[in-house]
A and B are shown apart, each in its own frame.
Chain A
Amino acid sequence: MARSLLEQRRLGEQLHYEEFGSGLRAFVLPKRGFQTRYATFATRYGSNDQSFVDSTGVRHDTPAGIAHFLEHKLFEEEGGNVSERFSALGAMANAYTNYTATTYLFSTASRFPEALQLLLEFVQHPYFTPQSVEKEQGIIEQELRMYLDDPRVAVFQNLMEALYHHHPVRVEIGGTVESIRQITADDLYLCYRTFYHPSNMVFFATGDVAPDAVFSAIHRLVPGERRAPVQRVRPAEPAAVRTELVRRAMPVGVPLIDIGFKDEPDREDPLRREVEMEILLDCLFGTSSDIYQTLYEEGLLSEHFAASYFSGEDFAASVLGGPSPDPDRLRERILTLLAAQREGGLSVEAVERSRRKSIGEFVALFNSPEAVAHSFSEYALRGLDLFAALAALDRVRYEDIARRFEEHLAQPRVAASIIVRTGEHAQ
């Protein structure tokens, strides 16, 4: 049992860490003065993990949306739903699934120890029956239909399908109405046994909490022996994009566009890569950039335009976009202005400005216990340390950002996804 204290003097934070015999890694970040006590219990299992090899060497290909379905069903217990027991404690429980992780959480202003025990217990106690699986299909179907009507979801989903040939990041996190109908209670148990082992999980708590009490609750309630990592099956993904442009019509008020630049993931130092990319994208497309200001004045984008680096262990892309009255023109202009920017190069001042902005924003993240818990936990599941981002920001040099510009955006493997209004040049 390894216990340590990571002091972040500069941030005025102390992070307590312990790795248990079960392989579970747990972090506690005490924040005095906050009413919200917040805990997350997350597993490195997301929609990307549809195909895997079990401990006996057998390969399984499961239906799309199963990680998300399992997240819903874990709340079910014999004779009820565990949410109600959180409610009775004045706590709110929730969960979410993304491409790489499933996270269970609660927040409460009172009775933290009871809620903590409940969280640790329910995530370790699956209870699925054919009837309860069928019942959940109706609920999830409505959740999926809600997203189907959301053009922001559609524009991003279509971009993923355009960027990727085979990588599972091109599949909807929640699956489809058809794929979730194939899910059985046995499938859920199989995935549960494969991915919900403490060795594959991370716990994080923050707020006015005592680290010792949290660690001893985990010690008591999360037994088990360390286990070898799960073998995840990933098809080989070509470097090129699959389609350059996808266009769809929806009943929207204003058209939308997302543009993606496909990148090779950095397996050596992914944290540094992310820090550098956030700075590069801010220099190129942030509110202080020439490109943003030019396109704003041309009326092609609004304050809702955003650029960010979308990446995980084995996928990476820069994604930029937002609502635009003329997405085709915006796409063309972005590519032209980007080429011109390459000729002119980035200014040293722009890089320094973006670096300062990133530092300020990183510090501000610690205002929010929820935001810290989610970011920290996501990084920890990948074996990365969120705190190290601050040191990486300090080390950023102009040459690194300029090099990234050349490597990533100079030979753009670029795709665009456009949503137009129903009835307007639909194809």
Chain B
Amino acid sequence: MAFERTRLSDGADLFFWPTKKFKTTTVRVLLRQPLADGAGEGALLPMVVRRGTRSLPRPVELARALDNLYGADLRGDVIKLGEEQVLIFHVEATSGAYLGGEDPLRGAVDLLGDVLFDPLLEDGGFAPAFVAQERENLLRRIQGIYSDKAHYAQLRLIEEMCPGENYAIPRLGRPEEVEALTPVTLYERWQRILRTAPIAVYIVGDLPPERAQDEAQRLLSRLGRRSPARPGAASRHEAPAQLRRVTDHQPVSQGKLAFGFTADRRADSPDYPALVMMNGIYGGFSHSKLFQEVRERHSLAYYAYSQIDGLKGLVFVQSGIEFEHRAQAEEIILAQLEAMRRGEFREQEVRDTLAGIESQILQSADAPSEAIMTDFELRASGRPTDPEARIATLRRVDAEAIAQAARGVRLDTVYFLDGQEGS
């Protein structure tokens, strides 16, 4: 997997990977924004522009146009990347080679272009009916997180761990902010994003480079004059003077125990690969210490894992347990980290972890969207994108470096979603 980069205009680049592997062509536009600039607006924008365009003002018309293109898939969403929000616009069309020569790509890219640059407007803002509907949908998506207890626990952990930091702004924003916006302020924000956001256009598929260039140029042909902003790094997390403990109660069947740790390095550090290896041995795989001890040895949980946010320099652990096993599970989870710090892991654990991460790196090239997001996130965090180079840096990490990375990981906040009191 190798994306070739071409400059399209000010702060807008094309990343193209020509490959015969897939039976679709994927085009993805990624726009980076600081989370602090209004994450609710950012989350709402892909939902609103996707509703209708000047030439296809009724949502049903846009839906039918896509279905007629052999079910071309046009979607918008947002992700959180450190303290940034990335607006994603995605269109994927089945290759003409498998459809008896009919090629839906051009039509699909034109529809994406209309969505981005020619949405349905009224009185200097987006169509009020679309904004009203999608505002309700977004508020419901935000409320819906409460239904997914593992996700909710992670969100609450970050909220308690990083109060006042931009990092604590949720991916979909906050309800107050979503309620306050208007069709006009939302459209102004959209114009500002198109003017200032760094733009990456990714294309993956079986196309000649000239065709990819041509599609990307045509897609962005309506992009006006720009003054792109430079994305800044995430702020440093301030560790508390003493351990924070937070417990919520809900009428649930299983407790969710979540830990937030600070690491002493971030993704742009030359020592970062040691933290990646440490996380893998600690809780990244089924051979890892957390899975082996919490699940296999003590039968306390079905899942127990750790993960890193490299842009912010934080490590998270979560496990779903019986309420009364809270203290025992916490003790075991923290004891595994202590063992890591003392260098108590076998050669075999290092080898298995390396093999597992290598497989993950190589396999990310097997799905168009995953290949795109991997490349995008690596670039955003200043890391090498070449799979072999990434594997080589991990191979160079020795046991002492791993133990040292573990010694730099400090417990900050423990969150527990407990059952209802008295029930």
- A residues at B contact (CB < 8 Å): 10-12, 31, 33-36, 81, 83-84, 87-92, 107-110, 135-140, 142-143, 145-146, 148-152, 250-254, 256, 286-288, 290, 293, 296-297, 299, 302-303, 323, 325, 353-354, 356-361, 363-364, 366-369, 422
Nearest-CB distance from B170 to chain A (Å)?
13
Asked if B122 is at the interface of the complex by the 8 Å CB criterion, the answer is no
**Other contacts beyond A11-B23, A90-B352, A146-B320: 6, CB < 8 A:** A11-B98, A109-B359, A146-B302, A251-B250, A296-B133, A302-B141
CB-based contact B67/A149 at 8 Å: no
Can you name the residue of chain B whose Cβ is closest to the Cβ of A134?
Answer: B299
A136 / chain B contacts, CB cutoff of 8 Å:
299
A368 / chain B contacts, CB cutoff of 8 Å:
366-367
Q: Identify which of A36, A81, A359, A363 contacts B363 (C-beta below 8 A).
A: A36
Nearest-CB distance from B330 to chain A (Å)?
16
CB-based contact B359/A92 at 8 Å: yes
The 9 closest A-B pairs by CB, nearest first: A360-B70, A138-B299, A90-B355, A357-B71, A253-B146, A253-B143, A143-B302, A360-B71, A145-B254
Among B56-64, B110-118, B376-384, which stretch is in contact with chain A?
B56-64
B365 / chain A contacts, CB cutoff of 8 Å:
35
Sampled A-B contacts (23; CB under 8 Å):
A11-B23, A34-B21, A36-B362, A83-B286, A83-B287, A89-B355, A107-B363, A109-B358, A138-B299, A142-B254, A142-B300, A143-B302, A146-B150, A151-B147, A152-B147, A299-B136, A323-B147, A353-B68, A360-B72, A363-B95, A364-B24, A366-B23, A368-B367
Q: Identify which of B72, B98, B320 contacts A10 (C-beta below 8 A).
A: B98
CB-based contact A288/B63 at 8 Å: yes
B252 / chain A contacts, CB cutoff of 8 Å:
149, 251
CB-based contact A149/B287 at 8 Å: no
Rounded to whole angstroms, the CA-CA distance of A299 and B98 in the bound complex is 38
Nearest-CB distance from B205 to chain A (Å)?
10
CB-based contact A357/B67 at 8 Å: yes
Max chain B CB contacts within 10 Å: which of A35, A84, A296, A325? Answer: A35
A302 / chain B contacts, CB cutoff of 8 Å:
137, 140-141
B144 / chain A contacts, CB cutoff of 8 Å:
252-254, 323
A367 / chain B contacts, CB cutoff of 8 Å:
22-24, 367-368
Asked if B327 is at the interface of the complex by the 8 Å CB criterion, the answer is no
CB-based contact A110/B253 at 8 Å: no
Total contacting residues, chain B, CB less than 8 A: 70
Given contacts A142-B254, A143-B302, A288-B63, contact A363 B355 (CB under 8 A): no
CB-based contact B296/A81 at 8 Å: yes
Nearest-CB distance from A344 to chain B (Å)?
15
CB-based contact A88/B99 at 8 Å: no
Max chain B CB contacts within 10 Å: which of A12, A88, A364? Answer: A364
A110 / chain B contacts, CB cutoff of 8 Å:
355, 358-359
B362 / chain A contacts, CB cutoff of 8 Å:
35-36, 109
Asked if B285 is at the interface of the complex by the 8 Å CB criterion, the answer is yes
Rounded to whole angstroms, the CA-CA distance of A36 and B147 in the bound complex is 34
Q: Identify which of A140, A251, A356 contacts B302 (C-beta below 8 A).
A: A140
Rounded to whole angstroms, the CA-CA distance of A238 and B140 in the bound complex is 38
A354 / chain B contacts, CB cutoff of 8 Å:
67
Max chain B CB contacts within 10 Å: which of A89, A149, A293, A353? Answer: A149
Rounded to whole angstroms, the CA-CA distance of A422 and B423 in the bound complex is 14
Can you name the residue of chain B whose Cβ is closest to the Cβ of A94?
Answer: B286
B359 / chain A contacts, CB cutoff of 8 Å:
90-92, 107-110
A12 / chain B contacts, CB cutoff of 8 Å:
23, 97-98
Nearest-CB distance from A52 to chain B (Å)?
28
CB-based contact A293/B60 at 8 Å: yes
Rounded to whole angstroms, the CA-CA distance of A34 and B362 in the bound complex is 9
Rounded to whole angstroms, the CA-CA distance of A359 and B71 in the bound complex is 8
Asked if B92 is at the interface of the complex by the 8 Å CB criterion, the answer is yes
Can you name the residue of chain B whose Cβ is closest to the Cβ of A287?
Answer: B63
Given contacts A90-B359, A360-B72, contact A146 B63 (CB under 8 A): no
B273 / chain A contacts, CB cutoff of 8 Å:
none
Asked if B145 is at the interface of the complex by the 8 Å CB criterion, the answer is yes
Nearest-CB distance from A132 to chain B (Å)?
10
B24 / chain A contacts, CB cutoff of 8 Å:
363-364, 367
CB-based contact A288/B301 at 8 Å: no
CB-based contact B302/A139 at 8 Å: yes
Asked if B163 is at the interface of the complex by the 8 Å CB criterion, the answer is no
CB-based contact B366/A369 at 8 Å: yes
